[in-house]
Structure 1
Amino acid sequence: MDEVLTVRRWRRYGADRLYVTHETGARVGSVDLQSGEVVADDPVLEARVRRAAQAYLRSDVPELVLPVTSELASIDALDGAGLTAWLGGPDDDRPRDERGSPVGSRLDRLADDGWQAVHDVPLGRQGTVVEHLLVGPGGIFTVTERRHPDSHVRATSRTMHVDGRSVPYLRDARLEAARVQGLLQSAGCAGVAVHAVLVITGDLERDVLDPPQDILVIARHEVPNLFRRLPARLEPARVSAVAQVARRRTTWAR
C-alpha cells in the first residue's frame, strides 16, 4: 500500500506556507513560499518535501493527498526547475544573504553558541503553528516574523501600527508565548519562562519613550546577533532538556 502524504497551505499574518504531513499525522516538513525556506524534520526527506510542494502548486486545490510512490515518483527531475525557480534550492548558488536569508536559517546559526531552534511547532489540533521556538543560554523565545518590506512599522509598549494602521501583532505574540509556556510546563519543564520575539521586515521604529517592555521587537538584520548578546540564564543541560521536550509532538497536542 502506498505511503500517503498530505499538503496543506497556511496563510496568516502575511505568512504563506505549505505543510507536508504523513498519513499518521506526523509532520514531514514545510515550505515557506515567500522566503523559499524548506524545513524537513529529517534532512533526507527534503527532496520529498520539495516534490510534494511542487505537486501541490501544480494542482490548484486547497489540500492535496497523494501517494508517495505513484504521484511523487512520476514527477520528472527536470520538472523540478519550476519549483526551484520559486523556492530556490541546492542549485541556487547565490549567497544566502542575497536570497533573503530566512529567519529560521539565521536562528540555526546560533547552534555553535549553545542555542537550539525548533521550527514550525504545531499547537493543538486547530492548525496553529509557532514559526520558531528558540532555546538557549539567554532563555526561551517564540520567534515570529512579520513582513512589511515597503511599509513603516511603529511599535510602542502597547500598540503596533503599519503605515498608521493598527495591527494585533503584540497581543498575538504575547498570547502565543504564554500558551507555549503553559504547554512546556505541563510537559514537565517546571519554572520555564517563555518570551515573545517579533522580527519585523520593513522600516521599524521603536518608540524610545514608550518601547515594548515584555516582548522583543527587532529588525530582521538584528537576527541572530541580538541573541548572542543576551545575558546567560539557562545552563547547557537545561537548554538541552527543554529543547528535547519541545521536539516531542505530544508536548503540543493538548
Structure 2
Amino acid sequence: MSRLRVTPAHGQGRDRLYVSLRDGTTVAWYDKDTGRVSVLSGAGREEVLSALAPYLTGEVTVGPPRVPTPADLDRLSLHPDDDLAPNRPGEALHAELDAVRAAGSDGSSGFSGSDGFSGSSGSSSSHGSLPRRRWRRWRQDPRQDPRQAELLAQETIGDRLDRLEDAGWRVLHSIPLPGAARIDHLAIGPAGVLAVRTLPAWKRRVGVADPLVRVGRAAPVPHLRWARRAAERASRALAADVRPVLAVVEPARLDALPMPPDVRILRDAEIPALASLGGVLKPADIESLYATARDRHSWLRV
C-alpha cells in the first residue's frame, strides 16, 4: 500500500491535487491548469508520480515549486490593510493585551503598564534577553496575564530574526491564518523558508517527547504537531518547501533526544547562527517569496 494519499482542493482560482503522507504532511501537488507537478522534500519524484498517475492528463512538468517571476511581482499592488510586513512580533498579542488594559485600566485585569510587561510598546525591549526583575515579578504575581510572557518571548525571537536581514533574510511576524491560528514568525533566507513557533521557557526545563513538549511542571503540549501544521499551511500558501522550527526562549535545560528529524529546535541564542547557512535560495527567490508572503490574501485558503 502506498504511503501517499491524493486529495483535491479548489480555491483562489486554482484546481489542485495535493499529495500528502499518512500523517497529513503535504509533499507535492498537481496544478491541473498548468500541468505542473511541484515536489517538496519528504517523498521521491517517482513515488509522487505513481500516486498521481490515475489523475494526470496530457503532458506534465515535474520539478520544485515555481517561484514568482519579476513580472508576477509587478502585478502585486498591496493595500496597506493587506500588507503583513508592518506586523510587529506578537502583533495579535499586542492587540489582545491592549484590549485587556483598556477594559481594566484600574489594574483588576492583572495587566501591568510601564512598570510591568507592556503590551503596546511596539518594539522589543529585551533585545533577546528578558530582564530578570520583570521575569521575577511575573512569576510572583498570580494576577499577571500569561500572554505577557508569551509576548515577550515573541519579541525576543522576533528581534533575533530581524537581525538576520543583513545576512540576506526577510522576516514576517504574526501571520494570520484562517480560524484563530497564526504563524509566529516566517523567515525566508539563503537557508530556505522557516515557519517559527515561539516557546517561552524563561529558565525552566524543557523536555521534548515528539510531538509533546513539557515546560517546567506544566502539562505536555503538542507544540511539534502545531509547528508542523503551520509549516505545511505555509508551504501551501507559498508553493514552496517550508521547514518547521520551534524556538525556545531561555530554557534552563533542553532535553530533546532523539531530536525530531523534521522539526528544527533552536534556543533563542542559536538563531544568529542561521546567518551562516545557505545554498537553498538565491536572492531573487527570497524576494519573490517574501512578496507573496507579505500579501494577506496568500493565506486565506490554507
- TM-score grouping bracket, smaller chain normalisation: 0.5 to 0.7
Residues in 2 aligned to 1:154 and 1:83: alpha-carbon distance in whole angstroms: 34
1:130-170 Cα offsets, whole Å, 9 max, x none, are: 11000000000011111122421122555433346432011
Q: Residue 231 of structure 1: SS of its match in structure 2? A: coil
Residue 197 (structure 1) aligned with residue 245 (structure 2): yes
Residue 177 (structure 1) aligned with residue 231 (structure 2): yes
Aligned residues: 188
Residues in 2 aligned to 1:243 and 1:98: alpha-carbon distance in whole angstroms: 28
Q: For 1:160-239, list aligned pairs within 5 A.
A: 160-163=213-216, 165-185=219-239, 192-201=240-249, 202-208=251-257, 210-223=258-271, 225-239=272-286
Residues in 1 aligned to 2:234 and 2:194: alpha-carbon distance in whole angstroms: 9
Q: For 1:100-111, list aligned pairs within 5 A.
A: 102-111=156-165
Q: 1:26: how far off? A: 7.7
Q: For 1:1-254, list aligned pairs within 5 A.
A: 29=87, 32=90, 54=98, 57-60=101-104, 82-83=113-114, 86-87=117-118, 89=121, 96-97=127-128, 102-124=156-178, 126-156=179-209, 158-163=211-216, 165-185=219-239, 192-201=240-249, 202-208=251-257, 210-223=258-271, 225-254=272-301
Q: Residue 102 of structure 1: SS of its match in structure 2? A: helix
Q: 1:248: how far off? A: 0.4
Residues in 1 aligned to 2:102 and 2:228: alpha-carbon distance in whole angstroms: 37
Cα separation, partners in 2 of 1:59 and 1:119, compared to 1, 3 Å? same
Asked whether the equivalents of residues 138 and 227 of structure 1 are also in contact (C-alpha less than 8 Å), the reply is yes
Cα separation, partners in 2 of 1:204 and 1:183, compared to 1, 3 Å? farther
Cα separation, partners in 2 of 1:156 and 1:237, compared to 1, 3 Å? same
Cα separation, partners in 2 of 1:145 and 1:58, compared to 1, 3 Å? same
Over aligned residues, Cα RMSD in angstroms?
A: 3.6
TM-score after normalising by structure 2: 0.53
- The answer for unaligned runs of 5 or more in structure 1 is 1-23, 33-37, 40-48, 62-80, 186-191
Asked whether the equivalents of residues 157 and 213 of structure 1 are also in contact (C-alpha less than 8 Å), the reply is no
Asked whether the equivalents of residues 143 and 199 of structure 1 are also in contact (C-alpha less than 8 Å), the reply is yes
Q: 1:207: how far off? A: 3.7
Residues in 1 aligned to 2:288 and 2:82: alpha-carbon distance in whole angstroms: 25
Aligned residue identity for 1:195: R
1:45-95 Cα offsets, whole Å, 9 max, x none, are: xxxx89x9656512249xxxxxxxxxxxxxxxxxxx945864285999x87
- The answer for unaligned runs of 5 or more in structure 2 is 1-80, 106-111, 132-154
Asked whether the equivalents of residues 178 and 194 of structure 1 are also in contact (C-alpha less than 8 Å), the reply is yes
Residues in 2 aligned to 1:173 and 1:54: alpha-carbon distance in whole angstroms: 27
Aligned residue identity for 1:166: P
Identity, % of aligned positions: 25
After alignment, is 127-136 or 100-109 more displaced? 100-109
Residues in 2 aligned to 1:112 and 1:137: alpha-carbon distance in whole angstroms: 12
Cα separation, partners in 2 of 1:98 and 1:58, compared to 1, 3 Å? same
Cα separation, partners in 2 of 1:237 and 1:198, compared to 1, 3 Å? same
